[in-house]
Structure 1
Amino acid sequence: MIKNPTVSVVIPAYNCESTIGESIKSALDQTLSDIEIIVVDDGSDDSTESIAKSINDERVEVIPHGQNRGRSTARNTGVEYARGEFIAYLDADDKWLPHKLERQVSCLQDRSSGWIGVYCGSSYARPGKLTQVLNNIVPRPTGMEGGEELINDLLMWRLSAHPGSTLMVRSSAIGEIGEWPPSLNRLEDRGYLIQLLEVGKLGYVDAELTEIRDSGKPSAKVVKDAQETFLTEYTEQIAEAESYGYDPVGAHKFMLSKFLFSSGRFRDGVRALRGGTSPHLRDYLGVGMAIREGFSTILRRDSSHDEPTATCSVCASEIELSNDGSVKCPECGYGVKYPY
């Protein structure tokens, strides 16, 4: 156990036995070695906890939750145990490049105390061919830095930071930032960034130092429910954005339409799109890709003559989709409870 580490790495982990070892290794392999790694096992029923505990390095500590309490709560537990000058977050299915922590610590040390957080660029581990084409034609804007003015970009989906694996914050600012919002099962990362930007500034390291793994796509119903909860939690910020002419609700409807189209629910997708506001030119192309995926989904259903199915991202069992698009796994009971 490191007494006074420079960085505390917080990894929330739930049913991720296939990836947790590689994620921890990417933290241990950092060029900045003065770190502690706090893995919070959030009630996994696979071998996630035992794999993490088997890593023979004094810098790794495993904190078990007796039951699944959610990704935000797991991160908050990790923060409670953290003793580093900085706290860096890493999801258990992602990994870092070796210079990630060193470059982010240097960024914050070179700036005034008002800069309380820093994120970095990221890439997908195995992007689809269409995504690669889209990235080449219309790349999503990156590199935004600043303070409260960035909240509107977050609400409009123009700032994409993947803070669950790219973000580092000053420990001294944690009290001001507050907890990761436990009421949110999804979009909690955007909520946390809003809280950060209300009390300080966010910097950026211009390099792809985090590799994001695609852990599965939730149903449109799950996305819709998460968006409604998010919009309820941050009504004040949304009202202020609307007073400046922004349309956060429309942006969320636009993003929802892509999930509806990709699942073959074209009528619902059109309804959402009519009330939507495109965050970025890229997202119009994204709708086109989602419609193409939706036709493929329908063709697969028709050719099988079966009810629409999916694969559970927790236990890999086949799941039957209900008419409203919700998912429940008959084997593990989670279904839409995707691994972190």
Structure 2
Amino acid sequence: MGDPRRIVSILLLTAPLAACIPASAPPQRPAPATITPAPTAPLAYDDVTGGDVQPTWTLKPVATNAATVTASTYTVRSGDTLRAIGEMTRAGSEAIAMENDLAPPYTLVPGQRLRIPAGLYHRVAAGETGIGIASAYGADWGEIVTINALSEPYILRVGQRLRLPAEARPLPKKEVDIAARAAAFTLDIDDIATGSQPALAANRAPAAASAAPRRPVTAAIATPAAFTGRFVWPLPGKVIARFGPLAPGKVSDGINIAAPAGTPIHATANGVVSYAGDQIAVYGGLILIDHGSGWVSAYGHAQQIDVRRGQAVKAGDVIGLAGASGQVQTPQLHFQLRKNRIPVDPLKQLPAR
């Protein structure tokens, strides 16, 4: 599912039909990167990564209520909807749609026979997130995204039934070892970009982005309607690691740019901050920005973070300061661009210089 160097913090945080999306006590982790307040926009470290305010995905524990469904067929009756059939059979409506090659708007005809796929299905509760659900069952979030055909904006629906991988299983409480479980479950940028939105009730809308949130935003955040403008360089400096293969068995999903500690990091394009913290240890201080149209940018190794989750930013805005946090020895910025979850070479998207 991407970079194997992922580290966890146990999670709990966040789709409409064909859309989707961390759980248990916060894990032990190495000493955090120094993320200090910005003079012009005070932001305490605790606001981002711990203390009084936990990462969004740890706010809602996951109740492991998964039900085993056996394969069967269902005959559609007048007034039936795909979602109602999923509720009756305890199978996910997304999984039923995939099994029967149904496409939006999922029109059903009385007498139509639907195959109900066997599997283990979790019923999503308010505020639960995809990463949290995955961690609660020891499953890979990326696989859950695939088998449920989830897509942007990856916001789970309260009552939605997610099909889990065949090997998934809830651990009995007496069997749970929090430290061991934390060490076994890892995260990468794609997990956070697609699985950290809290589930919403059907009649609730995601929170609108704000230019300067006064408090950490713990609800699902509305994604930009579409990508606007073009990308700009996040900071000046020499590219010291390029996109693609680095050595046998090692691949970089972005580029690394050398920069003196304290160099301002700029948003590469207009968007909404979807993550700001240090829960992926390899990257240290990390910021993710959703630009809409499937585009996401990532900024790693920051020594200071100056934005909050849910904050609207414009191209060129200062979002933090470069440093050597995470698993690097010298100050630099790790910069990624992703389109529909796939890492792309930033040098092909940034202006020549």
TM over 0.5: no
Higher RCO, 1 vs 2 (CA within 8 Å, ≥6 residues apart): 2
* Structure showing the higher strand proportion among its residues: 2
